């Protein structure tokens, strides 16, 4: 009998019930997987995703009498028009998004120009985001096959497809694109295609920056079967090449491009009231009257974020194990820390780590239930509560009023639920917490 590879496939088993079970884009043979089942799973998952989005649109407008937020897409359209007028982003004016956002913007602009209709831009942009979301679904399923089996991979894909709050943001924001690139980076990494993983993680940096946080963890993961120096050089070469192609031409025209293009930190923005930072501040200062300033709490939260990220890097470095599940858990903790501890927040940040949540809760009913509780919280936060109970920098009702306390209670419970789910994911006996203890005991 031939030697099996890492996913339990005998390379000598070229034939099966449905012919040769091979996925050419992954260059992997699935000898123990019925491709007909895979096709049926993917069809169901994709249809569930499309159905969820239609239900979200209907329920938001007709049941809850709320709104489909097109503000961001309108903002993208404004900058598409600037391109037509000959203005270059980062050169003619400052622009807060990385350059690859103009891929969907330019594509969506074409039908708008042809039909001379702004709504053609909106619909095309939404279709593009749905497409990227479907690619993310495919990544989830095939990563699930690597981590689990057909059944659990199907559950993971279905959980993500029916994540209704995430679906709302796919239709109204841009985050489906960078999230798709992040998941492609993870997919190729767990299938041992290191360079492709680096390419997509680097490309993610040029869409919304946050996918680059995966790069050091992917490097450390790959270094377990290679050398750290070789992996760092490979990743840096790819990243620098993309910098030369995408940034250098603009920097030659306007040397200030690098500062305005990359270092968009939100330092001048006040503390958003839908953040964990403000929620902690309101509980300590307004409820318990401890007199702690919001700026001090914000500084503390950023300090905790730095400690968490450094600890994750250290544990990834000293760990001798090359386990895809652990990689996903580390990436979830890193991205979650980036979202949880910052002082500004957009509800669509949930999109960034929902695919990782879907993969890591799919094997446990309790975690699945908490996952959907979080989706409920996120959907209530936006669009249902926005405007009536809070806007970015303020609660809408006076301090001490019943609605003010209700708003604070809501955000408190929401962040507790998020912390609970992350805890449940890393706490099980075979989870990240035990691995951390084993690693530290060896060192």
Q: What is the mean pLDDT of the chain?
A: 89
- Band (pLDDT 50/70/90 cuts) for residue 253 is confident
Instruction: Please give the DSSP secondary-structure letter assigned to residue 211.
Output: G
Q: What pLDDT sits at residue 18?
A: 41
Cβ-based neighbour number of residue 366 at 10 Å: 10
Q: What share of the chain is helix, strand, coil (3-state, %, to 5)?
A: 70, 0, 25
13, pLDDT greater than 60: no
Lowest mean pLDDT among 3-12, 338-347, 407-416, 429-438: 3-12
Q: What pLDDT sits at residue 438?
A: 65
Say how far apart CA 276 and CA 78 lie, in whole Å: 32
User: Which residues fall within 8 angstroms of residue 309, CB to CB, at 6 or more apart?
Assistant: 213, 334, 337, 338
DSSP 176-208: HHHHHHHHHHHHHHHTT-HHHHHHHHHHHHHHH
Q: What is the pTM of this model?
A: 0.90
19, pLDDT greater than 60: no
Assess contact for 102 and 268: CB atoms under 8 A. no
What would the pLDDT profile of 108-156 be if each residue is shown by its tens digit? 999 999 999 999 999 999 999 999 999 999 999 999 999 988 999 999 9
* Chain centre distance of CA 187: 14
- Band (pLDDT 50/70/90 cuts) for residue 250 is confident
Assess contact for 416 and 340: CB atoms under 8 A. no
> Strand, coil or helix: what is 89?
strand
Q: What pLDDT sits at residue 440?
A: 62
Question: Where are the chain's structural domains?
Answer: 34-442
> Strand, coil or helix: what is 91?
coil
Say how far apart CA 421 and CA 416 lie, in whole Å: 9
359, pLDDT greater than 50: yes
């Amino acid at each position: 009998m031939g030697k099996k590879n890492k996913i339990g496939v005998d390379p000598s088993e070229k034939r099966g019930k449905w012919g040769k079970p091979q996925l050419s884009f992954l260059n992997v043979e699935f000898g123990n997987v019925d491709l007909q089942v895979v096709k049926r799973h993917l069809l169901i998952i994709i249809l569930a995703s499309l159905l969820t989005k239609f239900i979200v649109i209907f329920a938001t407008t007709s049941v809850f009498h709320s709104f489909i937020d097109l503000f961001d897409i309108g903002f993208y359209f404004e900058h598409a028009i600037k391109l037509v007028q000959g203005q270059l982003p980062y050169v003619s004016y400052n622009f807060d998004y990385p350059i690859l956002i103009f891929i969907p913007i330019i594509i969506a602009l074409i039908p708008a120009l042809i039909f001379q209709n702004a709504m053609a831009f909106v619909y095309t942009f939404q279709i593009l985001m749905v497409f990227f979301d479907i690619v993310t679904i495919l990544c989830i399923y095939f990563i699930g096959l690597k981590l689990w089996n057909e059944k659990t991979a199907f559950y993971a894909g279905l959980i993500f497809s029916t994540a209704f709050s995430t679906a709302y943001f796919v239709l109204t924001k841009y985050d489906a694109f960078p999230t798709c690139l992040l998941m492609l980076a993870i997919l190729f990494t767990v299938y041992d295609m290191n360079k492709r993983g680096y390419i997509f993680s680097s490309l993610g940096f040029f869409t919304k920056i946050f996918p680059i946080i995966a790069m050091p963890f992917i490097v450390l993961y790959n270094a377990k079967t290679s050398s750290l120096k070789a992996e760092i050089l490979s990743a840096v070469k790819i990243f620098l090449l993309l910098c030369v192609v995408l940034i250098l031409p603009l920097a030659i025209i306007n040397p200030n491009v690098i500062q305005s293009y990359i270092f968009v930190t939100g330092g001048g923005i006040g503390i958003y009231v839908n953040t964990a930072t403000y929620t902690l501040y309101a509980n300590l200062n307004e409820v318990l009257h401890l007199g702690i300033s919001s700026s001090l709490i914000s500084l503390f939260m950023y300090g905790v974020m730095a400690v968490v990220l450094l600890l994750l890097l250290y544990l990834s470095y000293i760990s001798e194990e090359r386990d895809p599940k652990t990689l996903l858990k580390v990436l979830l903790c890193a991205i979650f820390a980036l979202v949880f501890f910052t002082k500004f927040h957009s509800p669509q940040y949930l999109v960034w780590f929902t695919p990782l949540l879907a993969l890591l809760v799919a094997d446990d009913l309790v975690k699945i239930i908490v996952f959907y509780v979080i989706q409920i919280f996120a959907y209530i936060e936006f669009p249902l509560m926005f405007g009536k109970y809070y806007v970015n920098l303020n609660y809408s009702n006076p301090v001490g009023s019943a609605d003010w306390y209700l708003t604070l209670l809501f955000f408190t419970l929401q962040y507790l639920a998020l912390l609970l789910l992350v805890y449940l994911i890393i706490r099980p006996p075979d989870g990240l917490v035990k691995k951390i203890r084993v690693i530290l005991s060896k060192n």
